[in-house]
Amino acid sequence: MLDILINKPNFNQHIEYTIIKYIKLMSELIQLNAGWNSNEISLKYLKKLIQDHHLSQQQIDNRENKEQFQQRISTCFEEHEKYRSFRGVFLDEQQSMDQILTMQDQEFIDPNYMIGKNVYLGGTYYQGKNIFAQVYQQEFEDKLRQIYENSDHLFGCNLIHSLSDKFCGISMQLIRFLDSNQFFSSTSIFPNLQSCSAIEIYNTILSLNQLILNCNYCMVYDYDSLSRRVQEQCQYPSQSNCHDIVAETLLQNNCSMRFPGYQNGDLRKLAVNLISFPRMHFLSNAFGVISPHKILSDQIYKLTEPANQNFTFQGDAKNFYRMQATVSRTKDLYYEIQESTSKCKNTTAWVKHGFCNINCKVQHYELGDTVLYIGHHNYFGMYCRQLCLKFLQLWRKKAYFHYYACEGADELDFVEAESTVSDLFSEYITYDIVDQELD
């Protein structure tokens, strides 16, 4: 009976349509942004999305195959009768919101999802937390409810934020109002502990406490490594150029949710393959363009070396990964990439061959064949340890705590945050010992 069905001319088309329909229904993402750094990354990401889906007027006039670019466009855009709008909430000071509305791609930004207020933020986590409750909270709830009502089947939310800037308290408050049944991912920029201030240390440990408890999948970046990568590209290491790299990796990270491929997957699939224990969900990544003039296996292997390409803790990290994955955008080289990654082994004894491959058949609109490497790196535990040590040096003397106390902060909140981060470091150490015993 099955042979008869398979031989029917419309059987394969029916199966393909069913799979595409299912993936499309579960791929709608909400982008959350608070503060200028976050908004700038999101705007760069939006600009790349418009190019990637061929939505600019020049691309609309020239493109040949319209279907493949619009098949899953609902992942990032709401489709209305006469226009499309980016499914994202922008939250910042009023002046910044006015500036966004004057930008080139503002026709894809829905003003109903923008929240601008004339407020002053001094820079502490608790001041942002209090101002959110007083000024932003009600309007944000209304915007989020509106997005939920305009969406059919949401996959989840992604939050772009810096752990130490003045909007970190507001960013962490956004998490409280998300649907707990939805997948929550974070694109987080961590400070360089060698050069950050005391207030940034406090903000980071309070924000990291929230990410450990509430996030499902966290991509980690730091400006020091991003600046080095920008310099490698012979560009000036400005904050804007660093944000452009983050936006590029965001585009690659969810490309398989937006386009068909040989082996599709979403952020949940990556999380299942890369995160072995729920609290240890902090991942590093590296991005590269596949050159036809170089050996492919060498290019893939180079991406796995933190000292060369990584955007996180570049100067300190060693090549120790628990689990690894690639997200490729190539039509012809997928099987070659799969073969190359099969030779890369994890240093964790019980998942030596745990390498996940995801593919998107639609090439990058500008760069052609590209690959994003994602690794569950061991070094994040050491970062947590360094953060706790720097925090304790300040906390023993209650240095700078008066700035937080005048905003209503409780000492127990700081103690709890340090304990949570310290426990995460202990988890990393515990599993390191297990790995060494198995080896």
Distance separating alpha carbons of residues 256 and 238, to the nearest angstrom:
30
Q: How high is the pLDDT of residue 347?
A: 66
Contact 261, 371 (CB under 8 A): no
The answer on pLDDT for 58 being more than 80 is no
Sign of CA dihedral 225, 226, 231, 234: positive
Higher pLDDT, 101 or 189: 189
Burial 147-159, CB ≥16 within 10 A → b, else e: beeeeeebbbbbb
The answer on pLDDT for 5 being more than 60 is no
> Rounded to 5 degrees, what are φ and ψ at 87?
-85, 80
12: confidence class by pLDDT, cuts 50, 70, 90: very low
Burial 229-239, CB ≥16 within 10 A → b, else e: bbeeeeeebee
- Quick one: average pLDDT of 287-310? 83
Global pTM value: 0.89
Domain extent listing, the chain: 11-381, 382-438
Angle, helix 239-253 to helix 36-52, in steps of 10 degrees: 50
Q: How high is the pLDDT of residue 317?
A: 64
- Quick one: average pLDDT of 127-143? 94
Q: How high is the pLDDT of residue 10?
A: 47
The answer on pLDDT for 3 being more than 50 is no
Query: In CATH, what class is 382-438?
Result: mainly alpha
Q: How high is the pLDDT of residue 60?
A: 59
The average confidence (pLDDT) of the chain is 85
Sign of CA dihedral 10, 15, 18, 21: negative
Q: How high is the pLDDT of residue 16?
A: 44
Higher pLDDT, 208 or 375: 208
Least confident of 216-220, 275-279, 314-318: 314-318
pLDDT (tens digit per residue) in 412-431: 999 999 999 999 999 988 87
- Which residues are bridge partners to 190 per DSSP? 222
Give CA separation, 336 vs 114, 287, 298, 357, in Å. 44, 17, 12, 11
Contact 221, 187 (CB under 8 A): yes
Top-confidence range, 108-112, 233-237, 257-261, 392-396: 392-396
63: confidence class by pLDDT, cuts 50, 70, 90: low
Q: Quote the strand ranges of 11-127, DSSP E.
A: 28-34, 77-79, 84-86, 88-93, 114-117
- Quick one: average pLDDT of 92-121? 86
Least confident of 50-64, 80-94, 231-245, 328-342: 50-64
Amino acid at 63: R
Q: How high is the pLDDT of residue 300?
A: 85
The answer on pLDDT for 65 being more than 70 is no
Q: How high is the pLDDT of residue 198?
A: 93
- Quick one: average pLDDT of 30-51? 93
The answer on pLDDT for 438 being more than 80 is no
397: confidence class by pLDDT, cuts 50, 70, 90: very high
Distance separating alpha carbons of residues 252 and 274, to the nearest angstrom:
17
Q: How high is the pLDDT of residue 351?
A: 73
Residue 157's nearest CA partner among 51, 242, 254, 246 is 254
321: confidence class by pLDDT, cuts 50, 70, 90: confident
Contact 246, 43 (CB under 8 A): no
Q: Which strands sit side by side in the sheet containing 88-93, from one edge to the other?
A: 114-117, 88-93, 28-34, 154-162, 183-190, 217-222, 282-289, 370-377, 321-329, 355-360
221: confidence class by pLDDT, cuts 50, 70, 90: very high
Q: How high is the pLDDT of residue 26?
A: 56
Residue 355's nearest CA partner among 273, 436, 419, 295 is 273
pLDDT (tens digit per residue) in 176-191: 899 888 899 999 999 9
Residue 381's nearest CA partner among 417, 422, 416 is 422
- Quick one: average pLDDT of 258-265? 88
pLDDT > 90 in the chain, percent: 46
Architecture of domain 11-381: 3-Layer(aba) Sandwich (3.40)
